[in-house]
């Protein structure tokens, strides 16, 4: 077992988007980390590491690929065995891996059932199973942190007041266009908020700090090419990465058990 005084951080879905930007921000930090870059595709993960080395070549931290697919129990268990054998603990688990299939449904590339089932499988079920599997390693840390990446679209309070984001007036009659129908992504991220609250209470007496982080409307590849075009006015994903690092580095410790964003706290 490796004797490593660096904080050990596992980030799922880290080969692109907000995950990649979070790894970059950690590597550029003045603090020292050992980052486990979680990825389903080792080839893409290796390319991600190569690109990270180009922008963080003077880092105090280290980085290692970890093959992990949150929709596969076998993959999760193998990843756990690897981390346990190599480090024996985990200081930060950042549940970043996610999927958005609403655009695929709207354009007929997948069925409604497939979109909803896969969204919950990755965004909720898989995330919960991964967290449950790695919890014993978090409890070995002197300052364990558990973070879930949520969405501004998941606010029940905001949605109860008005449809958010505001669409054109939805005409009466049937059928409704796909874009007007309930969103599998939105619903799954709302469920993720409840998952975070559940883990907050489950692990409270163990000293695990738990949050959801709402990174904002950012230009990532989530949801495929059609969804990317719809985010042409979105912010740069580095904003989300930097926000997540503030949580990892203790700047938002007063807000445990909350959904935090760049402006403060998001209502449930």
DSSP state of 124: I
151 part of the active site:
yes
Measured CA to CA, the distance from residue 254 to residue 245 in angstroms comes to 15
- Contacts for 166 with CB less than 8 Å, ≥ 6 apart: none
229 part of the active site:
no
Q: Tell me which residue of 261, 224, 263, 257 sits closest to 240, measured CA to CA.
A: 261
- Contacts for 70 with CB less than 8 Å, ≥ 6 apart: 12, 13, 76, 97, 122, 126, 127, 129, 130
Is the backbone peptide bond immediately before 175 cis, with ω within 30 degrees of 0? yes
Among the listed residues 24, 189, 209, 258, the single catalytic one is: 189
75 part of the active site:
no
Among the listed residues 33, 183, 184, 185, the single catalytic one is: 185
Half-sphere exposure of 100 (CA within 13 A, CB side): 20
Among the listed residues 61, 119, 150, 151, the single catalytic one is: 151
Residues designated catalytic: 151, 185, 189
């Amino acid at each position: 077992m490796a004797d490593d005084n660096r904080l050990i951080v596992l980030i799922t879905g880290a080969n692109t988007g907000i995950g990649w930007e979070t790894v970059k921000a950690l590597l550029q930090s003045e603090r020292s980390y050992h980052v486990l870059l979680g990825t389903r595709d080792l080839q893409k993960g290796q390319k991600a590491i190569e690109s990270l080395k180009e922008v963080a070549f003077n880092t105090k931290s280290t980085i290692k690929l970890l093959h992990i697919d949150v929709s596969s129990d076998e993959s999760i268990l193998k990843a756990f065995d690897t981390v346990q054998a190599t480090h024996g603990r985990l200081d930060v688990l950042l549940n970043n891996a996610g999927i958005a299939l609403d655009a695929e449904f709207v354009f007929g590339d997948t069925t409604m059932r497939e979109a909803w089932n896969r969204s919950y499988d990755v965004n909720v079920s898989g995330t919960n199973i991964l967290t449950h599997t790695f919890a014993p390693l978090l409890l070995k840390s002197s300052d364990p942190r558990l973070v879930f990446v949520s969405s501004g679209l998941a606010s029940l309070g905001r949605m109860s007041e008005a449809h958010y984001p505001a669409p054109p007036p939805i005409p009466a009659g049937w059928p409704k266009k796909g874009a007007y129908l309930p969103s599998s992504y939105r619903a799954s991220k709302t469920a993720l908020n409840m998952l975070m609250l559940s883990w907050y209470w489950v692990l409270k007496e163990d000293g695990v700090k738990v949050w959801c982080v709402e990174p904002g409307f950012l230009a990532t590849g989530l949801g495929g090419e059609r969804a990317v075009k719809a985010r042409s006015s979105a912010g740069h994903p580095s904003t989300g990465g930097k926000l997540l690092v503030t949580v990892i580095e203790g700047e938002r410790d007063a807000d445990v058990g909350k959904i935090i964003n760049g402006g403060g706290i998001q209502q449930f």
